[in-house]
Structure formats: C-alpha cells, structure tokens
Structure 1
Amino acid sequence: MELKIPPLVWLLLTAALMWLAARTDIPALMPPAPFLALLALAAGIVVQAAGIWAFYQARTTANPLRPDHTAAIVEHGIFSRTRNPMYLGMVFQLAAWALWLGHSAAWLGLPLFITCLTLWQIRPEERILTEKFGRPYLDYCRRVRRWL
C-alpha cells in the first residue's frame, strides 16, 4: 500500500469514519465547537499553503505519489519546523472536523490517520529521499521533526 493511496483519499476516508463514529451510541462527552472548528480549519489551510508555497519557491514537486521526482530538500519556511506541513495541515483539518462533529469518538480518527499516513506515505517518502539525497537529507531529518 506504500504510496498507492493519495493522502487526500486517506483524509476523506478518515473523515467519513469520524462521521460514522460520531453517529454511534457512545456518549458524546463534548458539544460541537463550531468556532474552534473554523480556527482549526484555518490553521490547517495556512500550514498546508505554507508547505506548498515553499515547494513552489524551491521549484520541486508537491506530488505525494512521486517523491522520486523531488528536485531539492526544502528546509526553509515552514519546513524548518516540520518535515510534513501538508500532512500536518490535514491533521488540523481532521481536528476541525472532530470539533465540528462534537463527539469524542470522532477524535479516534486522528491517531488512525497519523498512523496510516506515517506507515504508507511518510516512511516510504523518507526512504526514497534518503536514497536520493543521502547525508544532507538525514541531517535535515535529525534537525526537524516529522510532525511537530
């Protein structure tokens, strides 16, 4: 399954599972929080846009299914804080969805999403980038965390 399912599909599948979880008979334990949901959604969009902008500036691909087409290690901007801003932005968007749904069971989607993305997207990307860039990429990985 490595690099076969686009991250956007993982996001949508997780969001659907979160919606289903919020429809269960499990007590909600929390009310919907639309204002906080909008803030989290905005944060997710900003984080993703910063990552895409940094890729654009470096003239390298943002295609998550073709990390072998990467032309450069992007270390500036948001990439100096997280190695995966687009995926981190998706986590913020899922948090927004959980806040909007207002059900504690919906929050189970976040660790599921992070686990699936780490196993089948991020680690394969890191392996390919290590093969392509070697020591400079490994040094970058030591300096900057995968998520936050």
Structure 2
Amino acid sequence: MNTRLPPPIILLLAAGAVWGIDWLVPAARVNAPWLSTSALALAAAAGTVMLVAAVWFARQKTTINPLHPERASHLLTTGPYAISRNPIYLADAALLLAWALWLGNGAGVLMVPVFMRTLTRLQIRPEEQALALKFGEAYRDYCRRVRRWL
C-alpha cells in the first residue's frame, strides 16, 4: 500500500488547521462554559476507544500499523470492530472535534468532516483494498455488515 501521509500526520495537520481557523476567524469563537467540559469528556472517550481498539489488535497478535495492512494476520470483526470498521480513525475524528470544542471555535468544527473525507480517500480506501485482497470474501462480508465510520 502506498500511503504518502500516515493517519497521525493527517490528524496533526487537521488539528493545525483548526488552530489556524481559530486564529484567523476569532469572530467564530463561542464563549460557553460547557465547551471545555464537553471537549475533555469527548477526548477521554476517544482515548478509551483508541486504547480498547489497540488492545484488540494486541490480543489477536496482528499489526496495528496502518501503513501495512497486508501484514495483518487476523481480520478483526468483534469488540469495537463490530461497531465500526475504523474505531481508531473514528476516535481521531472525535479528538479533532474535542480540539475544536476546546478552542470554542464553531468554524473549526467544519474541519472534522474534511478530515474524515481526507482520511477516507488517502488511507481508508487503500487499506480496504489491501484487506480485501488479504481476506477475500470474509472481508467483503464484514464490509456489508459493519459501516466504515459508524
């Protein structure tokens, strides 16, 4: 699989864009006391999802490296992977939303769907192709049962 930007770099670039939007469009800031609490709760939930998903990889003794899905030894379809085919990427999107909420900038929230679309195009689709080659009909059946994001 030929990926130019690893998912963590895409997330950092999107987080930087949210910060840049906050800096460039201060008029979009919302001053609500519940935003920081919501941001922390969402970030904690995202961290929990990431941890559980990573443990799922470790239990199956398969690679978590998104740059080499062809090295996967098992197709994960249970636990968090029964809800989303990409729980770690979903948690990344939640972290980005938490960052926008923390900054209190409504315009920054618009980066979340941009991030999701970019990640789908640059990472998830090539990853899906590699997994389909590796696991065949079992993966295609999994894709019919479980959505890409939620």
What is the TM-score when the length of structure 2 is the normalising length? 0.94
Identity %: 42
- Matched ranges for 1:13-24 at <5 A: 13-24=13-24
Q: Is the 8 A contact 1:61 1:69 kept in 2?
A: yes
Equivalents in 2 of 1:10, 1:29: separation in Å? 24
Task: Please state how far the C-alpha of 1:29 moved relative to its aligned partner.
Answer: 5.4
Q: Secondary structure at the match of 1:61?
A: coil
Q: Which moved more, 1:100-109 or 1:19-28?
A: 19-28
Q: Secondary structure at the match of 1:72?
A: coil
- The one-letter amino acid paired with 1:10 is I
Aligned mate of 1:78, from 63, 77, 80: 80
1:55 aligns with 57
1:117 aligns with 119
- The one-letter amino acid paired with 1:116 is T
Unaligned runs of 5+ residues in structure 2 are: none
What is the TM-score when the length of structure 1 is the normalising length? 0.95
- Matched ranges for 1:1-148 at <5 A: 2-25=2-25, 27-28=27-28, 30-31=30-31, 33-148=35-150
Q: RMSD between aligned alpha carbons? A: 1.5
Equivalents in 2 of 1:2, 1:15: separation in Å? 24
Unaligned runs of 5+ residues in structure 1 are: none
Q: Is the 8 A contact 2:14 2:115 kept in 1?
A: yes
Equivalents in 1 of 2:2, 2:123: separation in Å? 6
